[in-house]
Amino acid sequence: MSRLPAVSRDSLAPEGQEVWDRVATSRGGVTGPHSVLIRVPALSEHVRALGDYFRAGGELPQDDAELAILATAREAGARYAWNRHELRGRELGTRPEAMEIVRAHGALDGLTDRERLVVEIARAVLRTRTLPEDLYARGLAELGERQLVELVALVGYYGLIGVILNSFEVPPPDDSPTF
């Protein structure tokens, strides 16, 4: 159970109801981090817009993006995000074996070189708040400038989502396994 009581659309001012409607349309409901953020509708709107950018698919292939999100959720201990993105990763072609390796939260043996790079970047950014020179060079060579920028921004975005979910104890939406 979340630390905060549920908010209804009707309890919000008209501007908040408009944000509610946009969040509900793009996410299928006002759940997860938005069940917290909707209390500050303008903030919820900005977070939704950034999330929509990543959901629409930028330069980074969606299977890489989902693996990065799972690595971020695992590092952050964000069970809700893991639950939602394990399902989405399966839909978008993220290799199940790679998801299991990330779930185990240990050695990265068994990942392809690209998968390993994505997970190493996510872990480094979250653990050290920087990208070591060797990892930066590998990322730039493999992903190119645009995908590398997107990957780091995606990790930062899901770091924010993880902090919100954990701070307000938003539980996973169902009994599916997380980690």
> Based on the structure, what is the number of domains in the chain?
2
Q: Check whether residue 127 and residue 86 sit in a common domain.
A: yes
Q: Check whether residue 91 and residue 151 sit in a common domain.
A: yes
Q: Check whether residue 51 and residue 66 sit in a common domain.
A: no
Tens-place pLDDT, residues 53-100:
998 878 999 999 999 999 999 999 999 999 999 999 999 999 999 999
**64: which residues sit within 8 A by CB, 6+ positions away?**
114, 115, 118, 147, 151
Q: Check whether residue 84 and residue 121 sit in a common domain.
A: yes
Give the pair of three-digit tokens for residue 154: 């995606």
Cβ(101)–Cβ(110) below 8 Å: yes
Alpha-carbon distance 67 to 118, whole Å? 7
Q: pTM higher than 0.85, yes or no?
A: yes
Residue 21 domain boundaries: 9-56
Give the pair of three-digit tokens for residue 50: 């950034």
Q: Check whether residue 33 and residue 69 sit in a common domain.
A: no
Alpha-carbon distance 103 to 73, whole Å? 9
Q: Check whether residue 82 and residue 19 sit in a common domain.
A: no
Give the pair of three-digit tokens for residue 149: 């920028």
Q: Check whether residue 38 and residue 79 sit in a common domain.
A: no
